[in-house]
Chain A
Amino acid sequence: MAPTFKGVMQSTVTPLKDDFSLDLETFEKVLDFHVRTGATAISWPHHKAESLSLTIDERKLFAEVAVKVVNGRVPVTIHVSSLAVADTFELARHAEEIGADGILAITPYVWAPTAESIEDYFVRLCRSIGIPVISYNSPSYLAGVEITGELMARLIAKLPNFVGVKEASFNSEKFVEISRIALPLRPDFALVTGVEFLLPSVPLGGVGCYSAAGSICPNLCTRLWETCTAGDWPKAREIQIKMTRLWHLFKDQYPSSLKGGMVIMGRPAGPTRAPLPTATRERQAFIQSELEEMGILDTEPHGW
């Protein structure tokens, strides 16, 4: 039932106008840019798209735009995680109605749910819709709350549309627990990393990533994927190290610095909503010097 979610999938930023309102025209450009530069899927709005700073109506509006603009060229998944679980369910139903290829959902925010409570949540969510659900594991951002390998196994056994996980623990033990327990139960389970940590995950059954750097350097992302899947480890190592330096640059006040970098690349996507700051001119200048030093300005597309 599931379209395959693999490769370097782009989770786009949310372009905003100077008054912080949604910038529809630029969003269309962002989506097109990613599809043209090699994205194997589009997913919106992850945290870097400021999901938690958007209203539910705004999220529905742009979800519709994403599905319409991508128009079946690659699969589109909608990130539905919201503070209120009721909103999550509403966004999931909406995603199905507008023809999205799947949804993405993190463990519930704030309340530090138990394993049983997480299980109950995903069971209800998956059963409320008929499209694929990709779970999202991010223990370091959520006070240690995680979907363990064991819990994955229970969810796979119960739910035919529980098809994958965005794994953002970036931890060897947690990753192997999922790969060795979940994959034998559902061999096409999409085990993808939260950002481009392809080198440490592909040898263990990882099938891709949700990209952060793709709005800056899509060519490098594709090259990392190709070298990893080809088993060209020395080259992959070299690219992954470069990618780490980029991640270090962009994770600062994420996604403020990413949007700052997009200005340098000729693809401005506007400011960042509060409480996050917008990258200052000084920060942009620093980003520019880093990108220059890494050779990104010479090897990656400029403008839309």
Chain B
Amino acid sequence: MSFEPGLVHAPLTPFTAGGRIDWETYAGVIQFHLANGADAIAVPMHSGEAVSLPDREKREIITFAVNEAGGVPVLAHASDSGTGIAAALARFAEAAGATAIITTTPYYWTPPAAMLVEHFAEVAGAVSLPFYAHNAPDDMAGIKVSVAIALELIDRAPNFIGVVDSGLDWQFMLELITEAPRKRPGFQLISGNEYMVSAGSIGATGLVSTLAAIAPQRVRALYDDCRADRLFEARKAQEDLAALRQVVKASGVAGLKAAARAMGRDMGAPRPPLKSLEASALAGLQQGLDALSALSGEPRGW
């Protein structure tokens, strides 16, 4: 299993005014990412409002993305509270032509380590595709994919080839990259967000980027510098993207969608329970974006 995802863009999900998936715009979203530096696409991640999509829509999105991507790898995010539901989605994604599966820790249950291993092992076992576990403690009430869990999962799942890490913890990344490849040569650390310099220095080979919806050129430059071990040179792009992240962070998906709209790419409002930004928050966000000179080199419109 030699798949490496490279720079993965995680698209936002466009909705119509009525709250339905806006397929016409979605085609444009995927073409935009392919034309602006994506080596692969991951759908539907949390920034793509995965948890607000009923299972049927997740399946439609995966099928749609595979067709639109024209052979570019599609990583399907198959995550759910119920192990069986997540496994069924993964199985569907494999049949639909996805290239790999990403699974986040299960929602809500705050499971202990043994339960997490079981969850991941069953979802991974449902497919023969490359499988990534997603460590996202900030999104998941502190629940982590620990190094011990990863090592145990290597024994359980032959297709478990890496961790997508959004936890940003240097000790975790270093211990994972020290331990896991000893048990599974080629085991990958994939950075789950744009803090690629530290992750890349430690040995991350891939990056799953949400900010590529706003600043794909900077994301590509950051990724390329990091992969070429030009780490000092990567610092400027890293700080630019960190500044962008801080502008959108507090308002979550609504902020991401507002920022994308400011760049000329309107994807509608987020689905409830998320709300669009109110006027004052929107003005603050616009002010933050205006202060980022790095955005001047980024594409406007589709």
Residue contact B239 to A231, C-beta cutoff 8 Å: no
Residue interface bits B171-185, CB-to-A below 8 A is 1, else 0:
101110110000000
Q: Is A177 an interface position by the 8 A CB rule?
A: yes
B235 contacts across to A, CB distance below 8 A: 203-205
Q: How many A residues face the partner with a CB closer than 8 A?
A: 27
Q: How far is the CA of A231 from the CA of B231 in the complex (A)?
A: 8
B197 contacts across to A, CB distance below 8 A: 172, 176, 200, 203-204
Residue from A173, A234, A245 having most chain B Cβ neighbours under 10 A: A173
- Candidates B198, B232, B243; contact of A180 at CB < 8 Å: B243
B203 contacts across to A, CB distance below 8 A: 237
A241 contacts across to B, CB distance below 8 A: 174, 177-178
Minimum Cβ distance to chain A for residue B25 (Å): 31
Q: Is A250 an interface position by the 8 A CB rule?
A: no
Residue from A171, A205, A245 having most chain B Cβ neighbours under 10 A: A171
B170 contacts across to A, CB distance below 8 A: 170-172, 197, 200
B243 contacts across to A, CB distance below 8 A: 180
Residue contact B229 to A200, C-beta cutoff 8 Å: no
Q: Is B160 an interface position by the 8 A CB rule?
A: no
Q: How far is the CA of A173 from the CA of B235 in the complex (A)?
A: 13
Within 8 A of A (CB), among B8-62: none
Given contacts A199-B202, A203-B231, A244-B175, 18 further A-B contacts (CB under 8 A): A170-B169, A170-B171, A171-B169, A172-B197, A173-B168, A173-B242, A176-B195, A176-B197, A177-B242, A200-B202, A203-B232, A203-B234, A205-B235, A233-B201, A237-B203, A240-B202, A244-B178, A245-B178
Q: Is A215 an interface position by the 8 A CB rule?
A: no
Closest 5 CB pairs of A and B: A200-B198, A203-B231, A172-B195, A180-B239, A244-B174
Residue contact A234 to B229, C-beta cutoff 8 Å: yes
- 23 inter-chain pairs at a CB distance below 8 angstroms, sorted by A residue, are A171-B169, A172-B198, A172-B199, A176-B195, A176-B239, A176-B242, A179-B239, A180-B239, A197-B170, A199-B202, A200-B170, A200-B173, A203-B235, A204-B235, A233-B201, A233-B229, A233-B231, A236-B201, A240-B174, A241-B178, A244-B178, A245-B178, A247-B171
Q: How far is the CA of A245 from the CA of B171 in the complex (A)?
A: 10
Residue contact B171 to A201, C-beta cutoff 8 Å: no
Q: Is A136 an interface position by the 8 A CB rule?
A: no
Within 8 A of B (CB), among A226-281: 231, 233-234, 236-237, 240-241, 244-245, 247-248
Interface residues of A (CB under 8 A from B): 170-173, 175-177, 179-180, 197, 199-201, 203-205, 231, 233-234, 236-237, 240-241, 244-245, 247-248
Residue interface bits B206-237, CB-to-A below 8 A is 1, else 0:
00000000000000000000000101101100
Q: How far is the CA of A205 from the CA of B231 in the complex (A)?
A: 11
Q: Is B238 an interface position by the 8 A CB rule?
A: yes
A248 contacts across to B, CB distance below 8 A: 175
Q: Is B246 an interface position by the 8 A CB rule?
A: yes
B232 contacts across to A, CB distance below 8 A: 203, 231
Residue contact A172 to B231, C-beta cutoff 8 Å: no
Q: How far is the CA of A211 from the CA of B260 in the complex (A)?
A: 44
Chain B residue with Cβ nearest A199: B201
Q: How far is the CA of A234 from the CA of B230 in the complex (A)?
A: 11
Residue contact B201 to A237, C-beta cutoff 8 Å: yes
Q: How far is the CA of A236 from the CA of B202 in the complex (A)?
A: 9
Residue contact B242 to A180, C-beta cutoff 8 Å: yes
Q: How far is the CA of A247 from the CA of B173 in the complex (A)?
A: 14
A173-B195, A177-B242 are contacts. A203–B178 as well, Cβ < 8 Å?
A: no
A180 contacts across to B, CB distance below 8 A: 239, 242-243
Minimum Cβ distance to chain A for residue B232 (Å): 6
B168 contacts across to A, CB distance below 8 A: 171-173
A199 contacts across to B, CB distance below 8 A: 201-202
Q: How far is the CA of A170 from the CA of B168 in the complex (A)?
A: 8
B234 contacts across to A, CB distance below 8 A: 203
Residue contact B238 to A204, C-beta cutoff 8 Å: yes
A180-B242, A204-B235, A233-B231 are contacts. A244–B201 as well, Cβ < 8 Å?
A: no
Q: How far is the CA of A244 from the CA of B197 in the complex (A)?
A: 18
Chain A residue with Cβ nearest B246: A177
Q: How far is the CA of A233 from the CA of B229 in the complex (A)?
A: 7
A173 contacts across to B, CB distance below 8 A: 168, 195, 242, 245
Q: How far is the CA of A175 from the CA of B239 in the complex (A)?
A: 11
